[in-house]
Amino acid sequence: MANKRETILNCGISHVSASIFSQDGTAVRLEKVGLQTLDYDYTNDTLWLDAVIEGLETLCSSLKIKGNARFIFPGSLLLTKTIRVPRVEKEKQDKIVEFELSQKMPFPLSELIWDYQVIDDDGVEQEILAFAVKPEVAESFCERVLEIGLSPIQITPAPVLDYNALRASGIGLDESETLVVNVGAKSTNLLFINPTGFLIRNIAVGGNVLSQNLADRLGVLFEKAEEVKKSYFSGQMTLSPEDPNLQNIESCAQQFLARSSQEITRSIVTYKRLKKGKSPEKIYLAGRGALLRNLPDYISQSQQLSIDYFDPLKTLILGDEVTTEMRSLLPFMLSEPVGLASTIFLNEEDNKFALPLNLLPSSKISSLSFKKKTPILCVSSILFGILPLPFLLQSLSVSKELQKTLAIEEEITKELKVELENSLDLENKFKFIDGLSSAVLKKNLPFLDKQDTCWQIHVLLNELQGTLDHEDVKDTWFDDLKLSSQKEKVNSRRKFTEDTGRVQLKLSGRYLVRATEEELSEEDSSKRNTLIDLNSKKQEALTRYLSNLTQVEKIDRKVFSIEGKGDLFGRYFTHFEYEITTRF
């Protein structure tokens, strides 16, 4: 008897992968695998479906894939909600979950395709994770994949599959708290695993954020910045130390690492609050975005936790058709397909896996199945009409029966034509809504771009706060901080100015000049010279510290007052004012 085989297609934001699995005894075998990078503007979500279908068509052609397939959807296409409900029997649980979700979802549940699963159970309450997708998204996707010879039997969310992949790997998860960081193109999925279940949080920081920062800093299009990012961080492209682009790329990478670490820290704090002080003891990295240089070291140092890459290949037997070139990429692209394959093949023997979810529209699949069978039905009808011909010569009664059959078939044909016309009307409505959505998105793109760069101000404030514990500039406090658009005089005769687009920072405050008791007990002239010398060193240290901040481009003006606003020779402090041009 032939082994059961499953085709799993992972439809990501930046790439699609095709994997064919089979069961090999108590293990899972990877028979074939392929990867196709998507070529489209990642900032335009409306282009995703066309790019995915094109990528799937290429993969199916090269791997000779047809027929039934399971699809994995990225979390950014789905609506996700987490709720807590009382622990009750299954029949009541469905009703309670449906009621609670109807209060939390932004759309009525009747207008969504949704499914849920229990992710934590303490014996009293259950944590419920629900996913939903709009029917037009799932239906459009199903129609397109049918056109290339694939029959969808499951659409499942990607965020929950890492849990099953870790369960299958044999990593001990029942005694400690574990965090899995799956870095994707558009967002990063955080999976907190504990002995009673797991919790999922999604943060809007992915590889595309770094690409957008590079595009802003280098002054190039997003597509070019994406190409530079992949070439540089994969080692395909090297830059000389004198190249000005090197500092820009490394600066953007450092900002990305800092922002990612901050978001992970916030999520861990939230998790500790929910779990009454419990925090992760181990971190695993997954996803192609985890290949960013220095990411493991940075997160490990910032979180003070041991960190390692998750390797889903430990649970697999690799088939002969898996090429050597693909094996180096597999650990970073297969965690989600392995999680789904483990659920399919191993769940019968071990029920430790989370139950698979299915967001496939059942009514639409019935319609799609009928369309697939239409040619067969037509041929069958013709054959059915031909078979009675010999009997027509023998009996008029047979002729009458055929006429009745023909009338029934004509009636069915009329009904099908009406259904087809209704489907065409729905298609026109969907196209109008799609065009309207594209227009609204285009008008809102400038606001989204501004949103992507607003966090730089937050980074600047965090860096200014570093004066509290910096050895050279401690005992410094800020009295006033102002941000304003920088103006530049264009015509001095007419006194005409224009906005340069840069933001200027005006910063004022005071710093304390510390001296020893021996120095303060000296004669007035010596004491005065000592304070002046210490004050000069403090000025230089503070100016140097501000100049080295990542968000500071240059210091335009600086003023120090030891008398008047300052009181160097009385209470040993100096007043300062800076005017600084920032990088945003």
- HSE (side-chain half, CA atoms, 13 Å) at 372: 19
Point out the least confidently predicted range of 5-19, 31-45, 161-175, 403-417: 161-175
Say yes or no: 428 and 495 in one domain.
no
- Of the candidates 86, 73, 77, 93, the one whose C-alpha atom is nearest the C-alpha of residue 158 is 73
Instruction: State the pLDDT at residue 487.
Output: 61
Instruction: State the pLDDT at residue 573.
Output: 94
pLDDT, tens digit (0-9, with 9 covering 90-100), for 360-397? 876 655 555 555 555 565 556 665 555 555 555 566 77
The helix or strand, by DSSP H or E, that contains position 284, with its residue range, turns out to be strand 282-286
What percent of the chain has pLDDT above 90? 17
Q: Is the CB of residue 335 less than 8 Å from the CB of residue 312?
A: yes
- Of the candidates 279, 286, 304, 282, the one whose C-alpha atom is nearest the C-alpha of residue 206 is 286
**How far is residue 308's CA from residue 300's CA, in Å, rounded to a whole number?**
9
Residue 559: domain span: 456-582
CATH of the domain at 497: 3.30.980
CATH of the domain at 357: 3.30.420.40
**How far is residue 154's CA from residue 365's CA, in Å, rounded to a whole number?**
10
Residue 427 is which amino acid?
E
Instruction: State the pLDDT at residue 349.
Output: 52
Q: Which of 84-98, 169-183, 234-248, 537-551 has the highest mean pLDDT?
A: 537-551
Please report the DSSP string for 253-272 in residue order: HHHHHHHHHHHHHHHHHHHH
pLDDT, tens digit (0-9, with 9 covering 90-100), for 480-498? 999 887 665 545 454 544 5
With respect to residue 380, please indicate whether it lies within any of the assigned structural domains.
Answer: no
Instruction: State the pLDDT at residue 541.
Output: 92
**Residue written as tokens 């140097």?**
544
Say yes or no: 445 and 468 in one domain.
no
Say yes or no: 421 and 509 in one domain.
no
Say yes or no: 21 and 96 in one domain.
yes
Q: Which residue, of 330, 363, 396, is where some domain finishes?
A: 363
- Of the candidates 35, 75, 73, the one whose C-alpha atom is nearest the C-alpha of residue 55 is 35
- HSE (side-chain half, CA atoms, 13 Å) at 2: 4
Q: Assign 7 to helix, strand or coil.
A: strand
Say yes or no: 427 and 476 in one domain.
no
Instruction: State the pLDDT at residue 173.
Output: 64
pLDDT grade for 516, boundaries at 50, 70 and 90 = confident
Point out the least confidently predicted range of 64-68, 79-83, 346-350, 548-552: 346-350
pLDDT, tens digit (0-9, with 9 covering 90-100), for 429-472? 999 999 999 999 888 887 776 766 677 888 888 888 888 788 88
pLDDT grade for 507, boundaries at 50, 70 and 90 = very high
Say yes or no: 79 and 110 in one domain.
yes
Query: Quick one: tokens of 170?
Result: 């044999």
With respect to residue 373, please indicate whether it lies within any of the assigned structural domains.
Answer: no
Point out the least confidently predicted range of 88-97, 135-144, 397-406, 497-506: 497-506
Instruction: State the pLDDT at residue 301.
Output: 82
- pLDDT of 549 above 50: yes
With respect to residue 226, please indicate whether it lies within any of the assigned structural domains.
Answer: yes
Mean pLDDT of 158-165: 84
Instruction: State the pLDDT at residue 119.
Output: 82
**How far is residue 567's CA from residue 511's CA, in Å, rounded to a whole number?**
10
- pLDDT of 203 above 50: yes
Say yes or no: 426 and 535 in one domain.
no
Q: Which residue, of 413, 432, 451, is where some domain finishes?
A: 451
Instruction: State the pLDDT at residue 453.
Output: 63
With respect to residue 161, please indicate whether it lies within any of the assigned structural domains.
Answer: yes
Instruction: State the pLDDT at residue 330.
Output: 81
**How far is residue 283's CA from residue 299's CA, in Å, rounded to a whole number?**
9
With respect to residue 433, please indicate whether it lies within any of the assigned structural domains.
Answer: yes
Q: Which of 67-71, 175-179, 375-379 has the highest mean pLDDT?
A: 67-71
Mean pLDDT of 80-100: 85
Instruction: State the pLDDT at residue 484.
Output: 86
Say yes or no: 127 and 91 in one domain.
yes
47: DSSP letter: G
Instruction: State the pLDDT at residue 109.
Output: 82
The structure's pTM equals 0.60
**How far is residue 262's CA from residue 266's CA, in Å, rounded to a whole number?**
6
**In this structure, which long-range contacts are made by residues 210-219, counting pairs with CB atoms below 8 Å and at least 24 apart in sequence?**
210/252, 210/253, 210/256, 210/292, 211/42, 212/43, 212/449, 212/452, 213/252, 213/255, 213/256, 213/452, 214/248, 214/249, 214/252, 216/453, 217/248, 217/251, 217/252, 218/245, 218/248, 218/249
Instruction: State the pLDDT at residue 495.
Output: 52
Say yes or no: 71 and 126 in one domain.
yes
**How far is residue 119's CA from residue 366's CA, in Å, rounded to a whole number?**
31
Instruction: State the pLDDT at residue 343.
Output: 85
- pLDDT of 8 above 70: yes
With respect to residue 371, please indicate whether it lies within any of the assigned structural domains.
Answer: no
Domain count, the chain: 3
Of residues 450 and 86, more confidently modeled: 86
pLDDT, tens digit (0-9, with 9 covering 90-100), for 254-313? 888 888 888 888 888 888 887 776 778 888 888 877 777 778 888 888 888 888 888 888
With respect to residue 375, please indicate whether it lies within any of the assigned structural domains.
Answer: no
Instruction: State the pLDDT at residue 98.
Output: 84
**How far is residue 288's CA from residue 299's CA, in Å, rounded to a whole number?**
16
Please report the DSSP string for 144-188 in residue order: HHHHTTEEEEEEEESTTHHHHHHHHHT---SSS-EEEEEE-SS-E
- pLDDT of 323 above 60: yes
Say yes or no: 396 and 504 in one domain.
no
The helix or strand, by DSSP H or E, that contains position 53, with its residue range, turns out to be helix 48-63
- pLDDT of 235 above 80: no
pLDDT grade for 510, boundaries at 50, 70 and 90 = very high
Q: Partners of 19 in the beta sheet? A: 8, 33
pLDDT grade for 1, boundaries at 50, 70 and 90 = very low
Q: Is the CB of residue 359 less than 8 Å from the CB of residue 138?
A: yes
Of residues 107 and 379, more confidently modeled: 107
With respect to residue 171, please indicate whether it lies within any of the assigned structural domains.
Answer: yes
Mean pLDDT of 126-149: 88
Say yes or no: 446 and 575 in one domain.
no
pLDDT, tens digit (0-9, with 9 covering 90-100), for 24-56? 777 888 888 988 888 888 778 888 889 999 999
Instruction: State the pLDDT at residue 392.
Output: 52
Mean pLDDT of 561-572: 90
Query: Quick one: tokens of 341?
Result: 């394959």
Say yes or no: 71 and 123 in one domain.
yes
Q: Which residue, of 432, 451, 470, is where some domain finishes?
A: 451
